């Protein structure tokens, strides 16, 4: 029996799209997926980045790319983001940070960082394609809370994928 990967698993979705949501669902309608792995619910820099992507979502849709934002917290916390931002894309609650682990999302400060995403988990952006299996086309692993690609940078990576 094969083990289900984090990418194949269903997550609570408080944004647009089906609930629950699997990353593979993105490829029902899109050729590429921009996955934004955020630090945690309390990260205002993460929330602002998510809002910028929501405001420019049409530019991704024009390129046949889906955006999915993942917050490593329970749905009741992530729902606050959905109310404030009203994202036109899936906004997933990944309480055990399984997707961050699968895509090697950087965690700083050793054991303390592992215990508290708010201080340890760094932002990450992944561009994926799909040809029967998901392929990583680009990864940006943030080295600090503020180290994250702009919308324009990820649009360029989508164009290159």
Mean residue pLDDT of the chain comes to: 87
Whether residue 8 is contained in a domain is answered as no
CATH of the domain at 100: 3.40.30.10
Which pLDDT band holds residue 2 (cuts at 50, 70, 90)?
A: low
At residue 104, the pLDDT reads 77
Sheet hosting strand 134-141, strand order edge to edge: 91-93, 65-71, 32-37, 124-130, 134-141
How many helical (H) and strand (E) elements, i.e. helices and strands, does the chain have? 7, 5
* DSSP-derived 3-state class of residue 149: coil
> pLDDT tens, 80-128?
999 999 999 999 999 888 888 888 777 754 444 444 445 567 889 999 9
Whether residue 12 is contained in a domain is answered as no
Whether residue 138 is contained in a domain is answered as yes
Whether residue 13 is contained in a domain is answered as no
Please state whether the predicted TM-score (pTM) of the whole model is above 0.85.
yes
At residue 113, the pLDDT reads 43
Q: Considering the chain, what percentage of its residues have pLDDT values greater than 90? A: 58
Whether residue 7 is contained in a domain is answered as no
């Amino acid at each position: 029996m094969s083990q289900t990967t984090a990418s194949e698993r269903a997550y609570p979705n408080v944004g647009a799209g089906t609930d629950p949501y699997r990353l593979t669902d993105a490829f029902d309608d899109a050729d590429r997926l921009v996955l934004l792995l955020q630090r945690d619910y309390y990260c205002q820099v993460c929330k602002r980045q998510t809002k910028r992507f929501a405001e420019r979502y049409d530019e991704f849709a024009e390129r046949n790319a889906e955006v999915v934002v993942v917050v490593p917290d329970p749905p009741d916390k992530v729902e606050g983001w959905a109310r404030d931002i009203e994202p036109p894309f899936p906004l997933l609650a990944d309480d055990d940070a399984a997707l961050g682990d699968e895509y090697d999302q950087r965690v700083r400060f050793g054991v303390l960082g592992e215990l508290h995403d708010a201080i340890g988990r760094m932002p990450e952006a992944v561009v994926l394609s799909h040809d029967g299996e998901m392929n990583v086309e680009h990864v940006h692993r943030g080295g600090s809370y503020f180290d994250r690609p702009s919308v324009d940078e990820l649009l360029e990576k989508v164009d290159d994928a």
